[in-house]
């Protein structure tokens, strides 16, 4: 599983049970959207904004596991399709023509 998929799963699980946003008087806030195909309005409750308090803990856990596994100073090999492996083509000297 790729790192991007894993991060998306962690973000989803962390924010799964967010509370609903409320007004100053304590009532829930709602949003409405129209379905263009059925021409029906849908009403949803607005959730609280996401917080990313888990990111520093995740960074510490990644750094700790990396230090235990291989160490931080070990150079990581580049993938064959990594753009850093591309080099400029060498320039061929111009050909000399004899008259």
For 36-83, what is each residue's pLDDT tens digit? 999 999 999 999 999 999 999 999 998 888 888 766 666 778 888 887
Asked whether residue 97 carries a pLDDT value surpassing 80, the answer given is no
When pLDDT is cut at 50, 70 and 90, the band that residue 98 belongs to is: confident
Domain borders along the chain are: 3-69
Q: What is the mean pLDDT of residues 84-93?
A: 74
Give the pLDDT of residue 8.
92
User: How does pLDDT run across 22-37, given as a tens digit for each residue?
Assistant: 999 999 999 999 999 9
Mean pLDDT of the chain: 86
Give the pLDDT of residue 73.
67
- Tell me the two tokens of residue 38: 């059925």
User: Could you tell me the pTM of the whole model?
Assistant: 0.53
Contact 29, 20 (CB under 8 A): yes
């Amino acid at each position: 599983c790729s790192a991007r998929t894993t991060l998306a799963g962690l973000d989803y699980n962390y924010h799964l049970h967010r509370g609903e946003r409320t007004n100053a008087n304590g009532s829930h806030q709602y949003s409405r959207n129209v379905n263009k195909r059925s021409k029906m309005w849908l009403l949803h409750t607005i959730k609280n904004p996401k917080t990313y308090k888990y990111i520093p803990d995740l960074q510490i856990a990644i750094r700790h596991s990396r230090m235990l596994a291989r160490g931080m100073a070990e150079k990581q090999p580049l993938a064959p399709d990594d753009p850093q492996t591309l080099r400029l083509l060498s320039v061929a000297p111009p050909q000399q023509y004899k008259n």
